[in-house]
A and B are shown apart, each in its own frame.
Chain A
Amino acid sequence: MKKLAVPLLAVLAAIGLAVSVYLVFYDAPLEYSRNAELQLNGSSLFFNQKIVYFHVGHAFWLFGAVFVSGLSSIAFLKTRNPRWDDIASASTDVAVAFGAVVLFTGSVWAKAAWDVWWKWEPRLTMSLLLWLILVGYVLVRRFAGPSADRIASGMAIFGMVVVPFVYVMVGEGNSHPQAAPGLNPSEGVVGKISPGMRPALWLSVASFLCWYVALLISRVQSTRAERELRELRERGFDLGVLS
């Protein structure tokens, strides 16, 4: 069962992704703008906005991964059991990858919605900072030497607290001149989509959950193997077997 989990989840994610691509392009309606004039113009936003389904799918589990990492770091600091630390480290690695996807797709979306690739707007800035914290975590792990696990745990816990700020941060209006009404990269999406868009969105969120869990499990296995190898080598040095 344990060996089957990763391939099974990967297959589930692949099927879910295929079906959600179908739903996104053939089933989900184009977003109806709240602005009648723009509806008539048929601005390019309406088609490009379909990137939302993948952006939100990744953003969901970026936050999920950061929480998994933060909570297992708390468990690690409490119990000092390195198995928790393996989970935290693996989850942050996956979060870095998901965060890169979120920033990239978000940038594509911003180009469609605002005609700029990036805007220094609170929510976007906070997302970038969250990602930088995660990258910092990976760097600390690599370069901070023997106490890296503790420092990294601290960062994971702090990063977890940044998440609500990313989610809540909404700037004082979307004042960009090209800002199109309707769905907008600086707003929460889930509460605002029309009912027809929901199946595609939730299916893509679910498939990316499978994908995240599959990545997490395989990453935890390799992180644990790395740690055990390191510990064995240290023991070998201590016993004088290795030199």
Chain B
Amino acid sequence: MALLRHAARVAWKDLRIELRSREIVYTMAFFGGAVPGMLWVAIALAGTIGLGRAFDRERENDTMRALLLAPVPRLAVFLGKAIATTVLVLAVAVVCAPMLAWLLDAPLFAYPGPLVLVVVLGAVGIAVIGSVFAATLLKVRSRDVLLPVILYPLLVPLFVAGTSSTSAQVAEFPNLDAAWYWIEFLGIYDSAFLVLSVWVFESLVIE
């Protein structure tokens, strides 16, 4: 439980910086505005920008080493970063989804349960997979080129599943079976990579 407390502290640190500067929320909320596609484009952009910011800030101020040297398990640092990114992505989704539903007059909230579930699972997946590789690439010079090369093949299944599930929900004849099929897929994909990330993070990030 101490681990979770430390993770929460790291996450809260990131989110507090965010609340004070509002840098990401402003830039990312711009992307709100074909509904499932738009929603997931917004989530994808929020994820990549949020991820980049969460780790770039540590590099610019050279604080990643300090963070890793803190007397908490590295796992807590990883979980903290992942939680902060998840919260940011969800914040953008919370802003964008009603705007999309209203502007495009789409029945986005016809099935609130599956919609919330699919967005949360998508955000968690992006944050978890993204945090592992953003952290390992922190010190690499060609980081900006390599991060998308590594990340996108792993994240695209999340976007495909998220978009398929959302479009099955908002279609003229909603297909809830398909929606749940993709939610299950997201759940399995997320849990597989969460377990894996927790397992390898410590040996991948060494300063």
Contact = CB atoms under 8 A, between A and B. Distances in A.
Given A145-B141, A154-B133, A136 B192 contact: no
Interface string B109-135: 000000000000000000001001100
B193 A158 contact: yes
Determine the interface band of chain B, counting residues with CB < 8 A from chain A: 20 to 34
A162 B129 CA distance: 13
A132 B156 CA distance: 11
A162 B154 contact: yes
Interface residues of A, number: 27
B1 interface: no
Contacts of A151: 133, 136-137, 140, 146, 150, 204
Nearest to B204: A154
B165 to A, nearest CB: 12
Contact of A129 (B140, B145, B157): B157
Given A77-B200, A136-B149, 5 more contacts: A125-B160, A136-B153, A143-B146, A147-B140, A151-B146
Given A139-B146, A143-B142, A158 B157 contact: no
B206 interface: yes
Contacts of A130: 153
A136 B200 contact: no
A144 B193 contact: no
A215 B204 CA distance: 29
A132 B153 contact: yes
Contacts of B145: 143
A203 to B, nearest CB: 33
A210 interface: no
